[in-house]
Structure 1
């Protein structure tokens, strides 16, 4: 099966808060002998939905942003690749390393901290109302996101909501970062004219009792 290397940079641009990209601090340190992880993509998607494999490559030689390395994993699906194959790649292809990354702390927060979101938000890929309640546990930020199109019957069914990483919401709109740690309870609604979120000072919390 033919393959190509995927761009980790492009993936990060598409999902900045959920797809980790090694920082320049780490990338600048890479040298021969270090291990890096690359995404090997099949040129054609298999019937089972398989698209690619993430595998470790040992750096043999570095020339600025260009690298030569040796594949250190045995592929499960890509039969045209073998353990020990020589791989030419670029900085843009590196999605992980074995070096400590001091700038990865925020990424851990975005993936570990959770919020509740309606399925309608995920379907539309947008939201217009966000409420903050007391968190259930240490992982819960207490936020609940709505598209603004949900009906009462929809909201009454817990199956219409999911508990997901806050990073997924930030991928949709990261303007909410400025008040993500606001006091509990609080409510914000998107202004139709400016598209910015505005705090609702007189929100009726009794409807959630």
Structure 2
């Protein structure tokens, strides 16, 4: 049990499990972290509390010695008893999950397109659940709604039917509408194809090789 009443999550295992949907700063950014910079960490109450499993909060760094850092908590915890805004926090470089750069030049230099992986696609549940690889993918005209936080990529990803049991094949549930990064966490063999234009289609061949194939679109989809 932590004497402080909390512990810090190591985010690296989460990143390994979900590289396309769990962001971590790169080594180049971490090298420039210094006093005065705000960094975000994952705090978990010890013992666990009922409201949240963990809370992401910002800490303003005031000291760094190699990969050992300390600073002052810049948020008010919701449900971590004994921890409050202004408390001192000691941590290591690998605990950092995000950085708020105050310097506009650093902010621009470290701008990332990571959020692009949250754009949506339709995918068979067997692929999303890791029961089959993607076997056929095609891109049609995206379906956009003004209320959508993330745009539709137009990609439609179907399971490799040869990897499904007869029962799974005949079940044919409705596809899920999810972040394309969530699919890539399971199978990223087609990631290099995602810049292909509307009307593109690919069929998995041997191994992770995909071959272009014909796709007929209705006139209102072309």
- Shorter-normalised TM range: 0.7 to 0.9
For the residue of structure 2 that corresponds to 1:97, the secondary structure is strand
Q: Give the superposed CA RMSD.
A: 2.8
Counterparts in 2 of 1:1-209, with a 5 A limit? 2-43=5-46, 45-46=48-49, 50-99=52-101, 100=107, 102-111=109-118, 113-124=119-130, 126-128=132-134, 129-137=136-144, 139-147=151-159, 148=161, 149=164, 151=169, 154=172, 160-191=174-205, 194=207, 196-201=208-213
For the residue of structure 2 that corresponds to 1:136, the secondary structure is coil
> 2:46, 2:130 → 1: CA distance?
29
Q: Answer with 24-33 or 86-95: which moved more.
A: 24-33
Q: What is the CA-CA distance between 1:69 and the residue it aligns to?
A: 1.0
Q: Answer with 172-181 or 32-41: which moved more.
A: 172-181
Structure 1, gaps ≥5 residues long: none
For the residue of structure 1 that corresponds to 2:80, the secondary structure is coil
Q: Determine if contact 1:27/1:91 at 8 Å carries over to the other structure.
A: yes
TM-score normalised according to structure 1 size: 0.80
Q: Determine if contact 1:37/1:54 at 8 Å carries over to the other structure.
A: yes
Q: Determine if contact 1:189/1:198 at 8 Å carries over to the other structure.
A: yes
TM-score normalised according to structure 2 size: 0.76
Structure 2, gaps ≥5 residues long: 102-106, 145-149
Q: 1:103 to 1:63 in 2, by over 3 A?
A: same
Report the count of equivalent residues.
199
Runs of 4+ aligned structure 1 residues displaced above 6 Å come to 203-206
> 1:40, 1:51 → 2: CA distance?
9
> 1:46, 1:11 → 2: CA distance?
21
Q: What is the CA-CA distance between 1:119 and the residue it aligns to?
A: 2.7
